[in-house]
Each structure stands twice: as structure tokens, then as C-alpha cells.
Amino acid sequence: MGFHFAIPILALSSAVAASQDAFQSKCVQFGNQINLPHVSVNFAEYVPGGTNLSLSDNAPSCNAQNGAYQNVTADLCRITMAVETSNSSQITLEAWFPREYNGRFLSTGNGGLSGCIQYYDLDYASQFGFATVGANNGHNGTSGKPFYHHPEVLKDFAYRSLHTGVVVGKELTKQFYDEGFNKSYYLGCSTGGRQGWKSIQRYPSDFDGVVAGAPAINFSNLISWSARFYSILGSNTSDTYLTPDEWSLVHDEILRQCDTLDGAKDGIIEDPDLCRPILQTLICAADAKQTSSCLSSAQVHAAEQAFSPLYGTNGDLLYPRMQPGSEILASWIMYNGEPFPFSLDWFRYVVYDDPSWSGNFTVKDAAAALAQNPYNIQTWEGDIRPFQKTGGKILHYHGMQDELISSEDSKLYYSHVAEAMGQSPSELDDFYRFFPISGMSHCANGDGASAIGQGTQTYASSDPESNVLMAMVKWVEEGVAPETVRGAKLSAGPGSQAEYWRKHCRWPRRNFFKGPGNYTDESAWQCI
Ligand SMILES: *[C@@H]1O[C@H](CO)[C@@H](O)[C@H](O)[C@H]1NC(C)=O
Ligand SMILES: *[C@@H]1O[C@H](CO)[C@@H](O)[C@H](O)[C@H]1NC(C)=O
Ligand SMILES: *[C@@H]1O[C@H](CO)[C@@H](O)[C@H](O)[C@H]1NC(C)=O
Ligand SMILES: *[C@@H]1O[C@H](CO)[C@@H](O)[C@H](O)[C@H]1NC(C)=O
Ligand SMILES: *[C@@H]1O[C@H](CO)[C@@H](O)[C@H](O)[C@H]1NC(C)=O
Ligand SMILES: *[C@@H]1O[C@H](CO)[C@@H](O)[C@H](O)[C@H]1NC(C)=O
Ligand SMILES: *[C@@H]1O[C@H](CO)[C@@H](O)[C@H](O)[C@H]1NC(C)=O
Ligand SMILES: *[C@@H]1O[C@H](CO)[C@@H](O)[C@H](O)[C@H]1NC(C)=O
Ligand SMILES: *[C@@H]1O[C@H](CO)[C@@H](O)[C@H](O)[C@H]1NC(C)=O
């Protein structure tokens, strides 16, 4: 093969051009050849890197939420399919196979009650070379209405869509790339976090590495907990309602009481467990002239209720409290004087089969939702030894400023796993690590160093130390587990410069500012 050295540069570059064409035609041919049970190809197309992809076939409500266009970073082969999951259900599945392939398979997940392929996650993983798949979770659109009288669609949502996409996606990866793949990964947050855990619990051989964020686990109780805020706070004309400005007062008071518990006055509560705010300090004095910087007793009482756990009819803990610190973000969605839409849809179309259910939640509704637990959507199995035995690894993270899913539930789940398996944290560390991320809201953003590389929104570095996906690859393939997860505080949102970095500790360690210097100095912090 020595003559290769003699090939002039010109010939070499035309050989590269020819191989690019080969990838392109391979893509289209491949789409025509796919012959798998229950799979019908919609189309296969070559998408060059730099394309602004129009998602015109996508459900309008998904596009309204996520945008009708997706930047595609890598050159890739895009294959879209329908996969039947029963005689009355199907998923829409996309496979994005990059030209520059890293030999790894990856599945993405979903969010909320949706029905939306997360194109931004397909782009994120494929740009690193993963053969990436994403499905619509069994229905189209952001609403829960497709579950109404359609148990098979609900079953897809509870567990079957992700698994089906993985089975088909792995087979296609093997057929598309001569070299097949060696390792398989999962990346998801929120409902996607629950899907990751469901896979670990139910299909322990599907993934070698799972990155699961802010999981919507103990799902029925989560739905009830989020339904409850409307009952506590009322509509925006109720005397128990707080406006966003009033929640901002509450936030300032919480920071006054809790910000420095971690040693740093930086506007971020490292561990909200330590924060038990006393809100009566906000009650307006009887002779107060202006009441814009204080609250009525009814409001303070309601705010306290909002920070209390949800207990069942028999007094059992159903779901932990909202962690303090997230109230400004929550004021626009959880505390906005309207029933929380996902909870409303779940009770209407799943629990009660009653599209007119009002949203006036009581704890009896929580009992009904939990008793139903369709297809074990709870996702609360604590014994995950089958996954451990396969050698699988889990990186679980949760924002400590999450306004939609309380981070305290992730801590409860961690304890549940430890107890169900009889393993201490130092034993669990071999395969399961949980990282609370201070200053991160729901899956991204927030006031702190939340850019940990779980997706395009939180991308600041591809160094495994500062990127949870790359950290997982290193753990699975080199056996080097992440000690900390390093996050960037982005100066102006996704894609902007890092203002500072902070290393987040793995549970049950806690971050403490030991100084000297500024809180922006990552070496001034210590995991204790
Ligand atoms: C993609 O194209 C659409 C329609 O032309 C345009 O509105 C949008 O700004 C484009 N997005 C990017 C990122 O270029
Ligand atoms: C969802 O939308 C896709 C187009 O993106 C369509 O092919 C599919 O049939 C739809 N699925 C359902 C269940 O309506
Ligand atoms: C899409 O790509 C364009 C051009 O590379 C870039 O300017 C823009 O910020 C990207 N948009 C998103 C949403 O990533
Ligand atoms: C669809 O599947 C269900 C459950 O497997 C079965 O009971 C039903 O008869 C099937 N219906 C049709 C039309 O094939
Ligand atoms: C799988 O691993 C083997 C051994 O390390 C390596 O030779 C091969 O190239 C890998 N395959 C892929 C698809 O990366
Ligand atoms: C209160 O909520 C209603 C809808 O329920 C809305 O029309 C109105 O604008 C809201 N008022 C304020 C002050 O936000
Ligand atoms: C979560 O769900 C299970 C039942 O699926 C229940 O036994 C457990 O107590 C729940 N509790 C909490 C607080 O998460
Ligand atoms: C909600 O239910 C409670 C208790 O059943 C009742 O007192 C209240 O009037 C109801 N509120 C609305 C808005 O329906
Ligand atoms: C720490 O750095 C921030 C941001 O640069 C600055 O606003 C703040 O004043 C500094 N604090 C101290 C104690 O030096």
C-alpha cells in the first residue's frame, strides 16, 4: 500500500470528495433498503452540516414550544420512520447518523407530557459523532389529550417509546455503519430523566451509560404536587395569590436567611436542605403605609404551604417540598394563578377520563392518581442491581433551583436506592453518582454555574470534567468516574462566555466556600 504516499494532494482531495458523495448516496439507498418488522420509512435524506432544517412536518404545538427550525451542526444521514408499537399506536422515530462517527449509539428523550422529538438533542449528540435517535414518545404535540381513551398511546409514553426506539435504532446503527457500535448511551432531562430511570429499571441492558437529569419520577405524586399549587395560591384575584413581584420579595428574604449558609454571599443556595426559611418576617406591620415590600398574613400562609411537602389522605409523604430558591422562576409557571397544564391534562385524560375536570385539586385526587399508576409510570423501583450487574453507569443530576420538579425528590430516590439495595453511597459510587447542581433551574439556566454540557443550552466545554455526556463516555470506556461535575456560569445565556466555573459535588457531599478570595474562584470551594 506504499503507493498511497505518492498520491498527489489533488487526487487525495478528489478522493475525499468522492467519499463524501458515497456517504450521501449511501444515505438515500439505506432508506430504501430498511426492512425491519413494524418499521415504515417516511424518508431518508442527507443533511450537510450548517443546515437550518425546517421542521414543517412537526406538530405545530411542538414547534411553538421548541422552534420550527433546527440548526444541524454535523454532516449526517437523517432517517425518519413510523414504528408500530401495537395495532392502535405508533411512534415517530428519527435516526441522525453522522458522517464523522465515533462508534457509539445514543438515544435522546422527551419532556413534559409531550409528543415532541427533541431535535436540539439530536443535533447536540450527533455533532459529537454519536449515532443518535429520538422519538416522539408515542404521540404528537405537547398536550396529554392523545392519552384519552388510548391506553396503548399511554403505554408508549410510560415506557415503550424509548425502548422501541432503542431496539430499532441499534439495529439500524449496525446496518448503517460497517463497524457497528460498541457502547450505548442515553441523555435526557425531566420526562427524559424519568425515561432514563425507567430504562435502567425495566430494560437494564439497553444502555451502558445513562445521563438522567431532573427526573419526573414518582410521577403520579409529582403530578399531584404540581396540581396543588393552584389550590394553595388560588387564581390571580385570590387573597392568597402572590404576584411575581411579591415572589421576588419572598426570594430576597429567603436569600437573606439562607444565602450565606454555604459560606458565600453569591445569590445561590448551594444546598437548599439547610434552608428552612421563616416567612412571617414578611408580614406587613399593622401601621404599614406602603405594602409593596411586605405581604398579608394570608399570602404568607399560602407561601408557607407552597413550601410544604404533599402528604396523602393517611398522612404518608407523597412528594417533598419545593426547594427554596426557585420561587422567582416558579412564579411564572407553577404559581401563576392557573392550574398547571400537565397536571390538568393528566387528571382529565388519564386519571378521570373527564375533559371537564376543573383543576380544583384535593389530596383525594392524589390518592386516585397514585392508585392508578398506569404501566408503572411511577418509575420508583429502588433495586437496580440488574443494571449494576451489566456494568452500566448512571450520572444523575438535578438543579437546586428547579421550579418544576423538586430536587428533593432526587435525594429521596437516591436514599431509596441505597436502602433497597443495601449499599452505602461509597458502594453506589461504583456505578451510580448523583450530582446536585446549585443555581440550575429546570434542566438548564438558573442563577449559577449550570452549564454542564447536558445539551445545546448548557454547552460550555467538551472536556469530560465540564461536560456530563463526555464524563459518562470516559466513565464507561476508561473506567474513570467523575468526582465532581464542573459547570460554567454563562454571562449571557447559551453560547456566551463563561463568567466563572464551579465544581458541583457528588451527593451526599456538599459544597462549602472555604475562601480565601471570591466565590467566582472555583478553588475556594470544597466538597465536605
Ligand atoms: C432558519 O430559517 C428561517 C426561515 O428562513 C429563519 O426565520 C430563521 O431565522 C433561520 N434560523 C437560523 C438559525 O438561521
Ligand atoms: C406524528 O407526526 C408525524 C409527522 O411528523 C406523522 O408522520 C405521524 O403519523 C404522526 N403520528 C401520530 C400518532 O399522529
Ligand atoms: C444556528 O446557526 C447559526 C449559524 O451558524 C448561528 O448564528 C445561530 O446562533 C444558531 N442558532 C441556534 C439556535 O443555535
Ligand atoms: C388489537 O390488539 C388488541 C390487544 O392485543 C386485541 O385485543 C384486538 O383484537 C386487536 N384489534 C385488532 C383490530 O386487530
Ligand atoms: C470497538 O472497540 C474495538 C476494540 O477497542 C475497536 O477496535 C473498534 O474499532 C471499536 N468499534 C467501534 C465501532 O468504535
Ligand atoms: C388574571 O388572570 C386572567 C385569566 O385567568 C387574566 O386574563 C388576567 O390578565 C390576569 N390578571 C393579571 C393582573 O395578571
Ligand atoms: C414514591 O412512590 C412510591 C410508590 O410508587 C411510594 O411508595 C413512595 O413512598 C413515594 N414517596 C416519595 C416521598 O417519594
Ligand atoms: C375547590 O374545592 C373546595 C373544596 O372542595 C371548595 O371549597 C372550593 O369552593 C372549590 N373551588 C373552586 C374554584 O371550585
Ligand atoms: C466577586 O466577583 C463578583 C463578580 O466579578 C463581584 O461582583 C463581587 O463584588 C466580588 N466579590 C468580592 C467579595 O470580591
Identify the pLDDT of residue 8: 41
At 396, phi and psi to the nearest 5? -110, 130
State if residue 20 touches ligand 9 by the CB under 6 angstroms criterion.
no
Residue 330: domain span: 221-251+277-375
Whole-number Å distance, alpha carbon 86 to ligand 4 midpoint, is 8
Whole-number Å distance, alpha carbon 490 to ligand 1 midpoint, is 24
For ligand 1, atom 1, name the residue with the nearest CA: 52
Alpha-carbon torsion angle 375, 380, 383, 385, nearest 10:
70
Query: Does residue 500 sit within a domain?
Result: yes
State if residue 176 touches ligand 5 by the CB under 6 angstroms criterion.
no
For ligand 8, atom 8, name the residue with the nearest CA: 360
State if residue 521 touches ligand 9 by the CB under 6 angstroms criterion.
no
Could you state, in chain order, the average pLDDT of each consecutive group of 10 residues for the chain (528 residues)? 38 53 95 97 97 96 96 98 98 98 98 97 98 98 98 98 98 98 98 98 98 98 98 98 98 98 98 97 90 94 98 96 98 97 98 96 98 98 98 98 98 98 98 98 97 97 98 98 98 93 98 96 97
Give the bridge partners for 283, in sequence order: 295
State if residue 179 touches ligand 5 by the CB under 6 angstroms criterion.
yes
pLDDT per position as a tens digit, 16-57: 555 558 999 999 999 999 999 999 999 999 999 999 999 999
With 0-12 / 13-18 / 19 or more C-beta atoms within 10 angstroms meaning exposed / middle / buried, residue 167 is middle
Residues 201 and 339 in one domain: no
State if residue 426 touches ligand 1 by the CB under 6 angstroms criterion.
no
Marked catalytic residue, from 139, 163, 398, 442: 442
Residues 400 and 504 in one domain: yes
Residues 400 and 296 in one domain: no
pLDDT per position as a tens digit, 106-147: 999 999 999 999 999 999 999 999 999 999 999 999 999 999
Residues 368 and 408 in one domain: no
Cell 382529565 -> residue: 348
List the one residue out of 486, 491, 437 whose CA is nearest residue 463.
Answer: 486
Query: Does residue 37 sit within a domain?
Result: no
DSSP assignment of 89-110 equals: EEEEEEEEEESS--SEEEEE--
Residues 434 and 459 in one domain: yes
With 0-12 / 13-18 / 19 or more C-beta atoms within 10 angstroms meaning exposed / middle / buried, residue 245 is exposed
Three-state DSSP string of 441-478: CCCCCCCCCCECCCCHHHCCCCCHHHCHHHHHHHHHHH
Q: Would residue 190 show up in a list of annotated catalytic residues for this protein? A: yes
Identify the pLDDT of residue 15: 54
Query: Does residue 105 sit within a domain?
Result: yes
Cβ atoms of 487 and 451 closer than 8 Å: yes
| Ligand 6, atom nearest to 338 Cα | 5
Residues 106 and 119 in one domain: yes
Query: Does residue 291 sit within a domain?
Result: yes
Residues 318 and 395 in one domain: no
State if residue 103 touches ligand 5 by the CB under 6 angstroms criterion.
yes
Query: Does residue 74 sit within a domain?
Result: no
Cα within 13 Å of Cα(517), Cβ side: 7
pTM: predicted TM-score of the whole model, two decimal places:
0.94
Residues 365 and 430 in one domain: no
State if residue 235 touches ligand 8 by the CB under 6 angstroms criterion.
no
Q: What is the CATH number of the domain that holds 155?
A: 3.40.50
Whole-number Å distance, alpha carbon 156 to ligand 3 midpoint, is 33
Identify the pLDDT of residue 220: 98
Residues 131 and 143 in one domain: yes
List the one residue out of 480, 485, 491 whose CA is nearest residue 467.
Answer: 485
d(CA 520, CA 505): 16
With 0-12 / 13-18 / 19 or more C-beta atoms within 10 angstroms meaning exposed / middle / buried, residue 483 is middle
Domain count, the chain: 2
Provide long-range contacts, Cβ within 8 A and 24+ apart, for 410-419: 410/214, 410/215, 410/434, 410/436, 411/273, 411/320, 411/436, 411/507, 412/218, 412/320, 413/197, 413/215, 413/217, 413/218, 413/380, 413/382, 414/507, 414/508, 416/380, 416/382, 417/382, 417/383, 417/384, 419/382
Whole-number Å distance, alpha carbon 49 to ligand 1 midpoint, is 15
Whole-number Å distance, alpha carbon 160 to ligand 4 midpoint, is 17
State if residue 257 touches ligand 9 by the CB under 6 angstroms criterion.
no
Whole-number Å distance, alpha carbon 358 to ligand 8 midpoint, is 10
Query: Does residue 399 sit within a domain?
Result: yes
Q: Would residue 199 show up in a list of annotated catalytic residues for this protein? A: no
The residues lining ligand 7, judged by C-beta closer than 6 Å to any ligand atom, are 218, 221, 317-319, 378, 380, 409, 412
> Minimum-distance ligand to the CA of 359?
8
Domain end call among 375, 400, 427: 375
State if residue 101 touches ligand 5 by the CB under 6 angstroms criterion.
no
Domain end call among 340, 375, 410: 375
d(CA 178, CA 229): 53
d(CA 233, CA 295): 13
Cβ atoms of 90 and 37 closer than 8 Å: no
At 46, phi and psi to the nearest 5? -85, 130
Identify the pLDDT of residue 16: 54
Cβ atoms of 453 and 460 closer than 8 Å: yes
Cβ atoms of 320 and 408 closer than 8 Å: yes
Whole-number Å distance, alpha carbon 381 to ligand 7 midpoint, is 10
Q: Are strands 432-437 and 393-399 parallel, antiparallel or unpaired?
A: parallel
Give the bridge partners for 501, in sequence order: 488
For ligand 9, atom 1, name the residue with the nearest CA: 518
Whole-number Å distance, alpha carbon 526 to ligand 3 midpoint, is 37
For ligand 7, atom 2, name the residue with the nearest CA: 218
Q: Best mutation site among 51, 69, 73, 123 for ligand 1, i.e. most ligand atoms within 8 A of its Cβ? A: 69
State if residue 332 touches ligand 6 by the CB under 6 angstroms criterion.
no
Nine cell digits for residue 102? 465515533
Query: Does residue 497 sit within a domain?
Result: yes
d(CA 33, CA 421): 46
Q: Would residue 416 show up in a list of annotated catalytic residues for this protein? A: no
Identify the pLDDT of residue 20: 57
Domain end call among 344, 375, 406: 375
Residues 225 and 211 in one domain: no
Query: Does residue 162 sit within a domain?
Result: yes
Residues 103 and 193 in one domain: yes
Identify the pLDDT of residue 291: 78
| Ligand 7, atom nearest to 319 Cα | 13
Residues 225 and 214 in one domain: no
| Ligand 1, atom nearest to 69 Cα | 1
**CA-CA-CA-CA torsion sign (141, 144, 381, 468):** positive
Give the bridge partners for 134, in sequence order: 94
